[in-house]
Amino acid sequence: MPPVLCDHSGSQVMGSITSMKWIVMIFSILIIAGQSGLGKSTLVNTLFKSKVIRKAPGAGIPKTLEMKAVSQVIEERGMEMRLTVIDTPGFGDQINNQNCWDPIIKYINEQYEKYLREEILVNRKRRIPDSRIHSCIYFIPPTGHWLRPLDLEFMKRLGRIVNVVPVIAKADTLTLEEREEFKQRIRSDLQTHGISVYPQPELDEDPTEALLNDKIRDKIPFAVVGTDEEHQVNGRRVLGRKTKWGIIEVENSSHCEFADLRDLLIRSNLQDLKDITHNIHYESYRVGRLNEKMNGAPSQLKDPSGL
């Protein structure tokens, strides 16, 4: 296989040693978090349009949080793109969920640390291998009520180090009216508790970008439905879930907001997610680590949220 290198703009560069010709492959890395039973694996399979995550028959809930990465090349608008998703089975499923976010924070910071160690080398590589996380998709249970303390604490801590994109899982269990009321409660909770989720208003660079991001913010959290099943609808093969009321088309924006989420993650806002990762979250980590070194502090990975 040709070597795979990456630059900070978020492009993998595939090189042929024999021909020395280079072509750019776009890539995206995201992490998903949420308690079991919320359809995380199904949503990932829907993103990839294939069963990349398969649960073993009779598999129970992990006793500790695990990190499992799946990666696959998909085609977007005629271009190949490598999409990597890190699943977190076991998150929030224990009797005591105190500090259950720590392994995820540690993992994200480890990717920043790997990049930093390469970046500060005197003879560093022309293109630094990049495994930094561009976004964290957080699954909110479709209770229709308010956010739980676990939801609030997770998003508050993770929002300091990564782009958090909240979604309402299994949104088809709510009526349209219940869904909209739940969205309003969630947005109110986020504002009341000072929780930063993507796209952050303070990072809008101009009125045009602010206008586009306002349209996204109006939909946060995205109400999603995942499935890997196809059905026939009016002579078309569509991804959808069959219910007694009919077929819920996953990629139909009038049925759910999966298409909006997918567009944000791997199309319209992909570069912005990478830019904020590099210029805001990674830069904050880099400055903190270099200050530690200057002050003679021991090398360790900490939660920079200071909470």
Q: What is the pTM of this model?
A: 0.87
What's the mean pLDDT in 136-145? Answer: 96
Q: Rg for the chain (alpha carbons), in Å?
A: 20
* Interatomic CA distance for residues 133 and 40, integer angstroms: 17
List the domain boundaries for the chain: 28-54+63-294
307 or 157: which leads in pLDDT: 157
Q: pLDDT tier at 48 (50, 70, 90 boundaries)? A: confident
Report the length, in residues, of the chain.
Answer: 307
Q: Is CATH 3.40.190.10 the right assignment for the domain spanning 28-54+63-294? A: no
Tokens of 28: 């995206």
* Interatomic CA distance for residues 259 and 35, integer angstroms: 23
What ranges make up the beta strands (E) of 16-151? 22-33, 68-76, 79-87, 135-140
pLDDT tens digits, residue range 7-23?
454 454 443 333 334 44
SS3 at position 2: coil
Q: pLDDT tier at 307 (50, 70, 90 boundaries)? A: very low
